[in-house]
Amino acid sequence: MIKILLIESELSQLFDKNNFLECLENNGYTVLVAHNTPEGIHKAKSELPDLIICNIVEIELNHHNPPKALCEFSTKAIVPLIFAIDKMTQANIRKAMEMGADDCISKSCTHKELLNAIASRLDRLVFLRQWCAAQLEKNLLD
């Protein structure tokens, strides 16, 4: 079963408003919840989720600290990271991508948009894992 880690300091902002948590659970995902970035990094290391969705506020995009730490873990672990952004401006999307996010969604996105973003990132993850396995096998045979 695919595990998704949701990081949100104010549960009402991401989960209750759009029922992301319920949507993911109803679509067969195992959902882990963290209430802040440090807790999220700890859970990511201990639970090894297949994908991380993190609520990012504009202040964090401007200061880079908590999201950057999460992106650094995500990159090392090859875990897709989706930022849920309140203000989907081109500047905020660009900052998120520069920080290491694999995708950005609006906090007000539909369930279909959320599920499509997740499916897209998970498809890419499968491709990367297959490519890495093929490269490893090739190097072992050489």
Query: Using CA atoms, how far apart are residues 115 and 30, in angstroms rounded to an integer?
Result: 14
What's the confidence (pLDDT) of residue 10?
65
From 112, 63, 58, select the one nearest 83 (Cα to Cα): 58
Give the tens place of pLDDT for each residue, 40-58: 888 988 998 999 998 876 4
Whether residue 14 contacts residue 8, with contact meaning beta carbons closer than 8 Å, is answered with yes
CA triple 83-87-92, angle to 5 deg:
65
Give the tens place of pLDDT for each residue, 81-96: 998 888 888 988 888 8
Query: Which regions in the chain score pLDDT beneath 70?
Result: 10-18, 57-77
* pTM > 0.85: yes or no: no
- For 60, the token pair is 């964090």
What's the confidence (pLDDT) of residue 32?
93
What's the confidence (pLDDT) of residue 58?
47
What's the confidence (pLDDT) of residue 96?
82
- For 101, the token pair is 């996010």
Pairing label, strands 3-7, 103-106: unpaired
What's the confidence (pLDDT) of residue 16?
54
Counting other chains too, the contacts that 22-26 makes at CB distance below 8 Å and 24 or more residues apart are: 23/111, 23/114, 23/115, 24/114, 24/118
Question: What does residue 123 show for φ and ψ, rounded to 5 degrees?
Answer: -60, -45
What's the confidence (pLDDT) of residue 135?
86
> What is the rounded end-to-end Cα distance, in angstroms, of the chain?
35
What's the confidence (pLDDT) of residue 115?
97
Which domains does the chain carry? 3-141 (3.40.50.2300)
Which stretches of the chain are assigned E, i.e. beta strand? 3-7, 30-34, 51-56, 81-85, 103-106
Query: Using CA atoms, how far apart are residues 134 and 122, in angstroms rounded to an integer?
Result: 18
